[in-house]
Amino acid sequence: MTDYASELRAGIAAVRQAARLCQTVQRSITADALEKKDKSPVTIADFGSQAIICKAIGEAFPDDPIVGEEDSAELKEPGNEAFLTRIVAELTAVGLSGSPEDACRWIDRGGWNGEGMPGERFWTLDPIDGTKGFLRGQQYAISLAMIENGQIAAAIVGCPNLPLEATARGASADDSIIARGAGSLFVAARGAGAFVLPIDGDSAFDPASATSVQVSTVADFAAARLCESVESGHSSHSHSAQIAAELGIVHEPARLDSQAKYAVVARGEADIYLRLPTRPGYREKIWDHAGGVLVTEEAGGTVTDITGKPLDFTHGRELTENRGVVVTNGPLHERVLAAVRNAGIE
């Protein structure tokens, strides 16, 4: 990983710091807040995470644009002063001191919103992927990827509630994949493999001693495990069930939020992840996939859209040339694509 050692070093440190902020905010969520559908904790964590990562990447690589999910316009609206004050307080608590203006400037470092590619080299960030999982106290991810000449070159995907140790294949999905754990950080660079580290601490990344991750070798659908989004609004569950039946998948699907689904396929806890279109014209956002795609591919898996085309990250903020996403361990991929076609998904 010598070619991207500095990018990974900066990205790992930033995602770890952002994870500390997100973990603190998530622990503050109360049952009363959930009952009232109070989304303020995830708003605070989302903006705080983006501020941390964009500041770090901006300082380390000042010429690199960052395509992030958020900008500070909402925080500057009348009545939102309390949000900004809390964000600044949470940033200070993890060692990043600054004024409200500083926080907004850091957030907006990731606000590139132009047409087409921002340049030959840029970063894309989802500061909290899986907002509903975050609010439920379940899975969410902090996903950062660097794209160079249209290819994902480096990726850091933090999963603060995904156990560091992969579970046995026979374990219940509800008791393992969806459980909260010590936290995992998945790291990959193109052509150099994928690895998992603890998300806490500040240990340096050394690929020679890090734990590598590999997809499963499952080739029989009777033994395969499928994972999909918790929310049916993110992926068509009815089509997933139809596809699973055609393929002879007997295990109940594991449903979890965020790019943690890529992670569990990458390390062989699941074999298939389907992100099937829910409405005509919808296109996936690049930050929802870039980090997870590289981690899975470097672990030996295969990622395409539902037609079998590679995901194309050269068209700005959206995957405009793709429709849906199919992720597998590789041996199952062509048969999964055939089942998707047979389901009549367009």
What structural domains and CATH numbers belong to the chain? 2-211 (3.30.540.10), 221-342 (3.40.190.80)
Active site residue 131: yes
Mean pLDDT of 267-272: 96
Highest mean pLDDT among 21-25, 65-69, 278-282: 21-25
Cβ neighbours of residue 339 closer than 8 Å, sequence gap 6 or more: 243, 246, 247
- CB contact at 8 A, 336 and 272: yes
Which position among 131, 296, 302, 328 bears the catalytic label? 131
pLDDT value of position 173: 45
Strand-pair partners of 68: 125
pLDDT tops 50 at residue 256: yes
Q: What is the pLDDT of residues 143-183, one digit of tens each?
A: 999 999 999 999 999 999 999 988 765 444 444 454 555 79
- Between CA 69 and CA 110 the distance in angstroms is 8
- CB contact at 8 A, 137 and 180: yes
Which position among 46, 126, 129, 271 bears the catalytic label? 46
Amino acid letter for position 329: N
pLDDT tops 70 at residue 36: no
The phi, psi pair for 19, rounded to 5°, reads -65, -40
The pTM assigned to this predicted structure is 0.93
Active site residue 46: yes
Of the two residues 234 and 52, the one the predictor is more confident about is 52
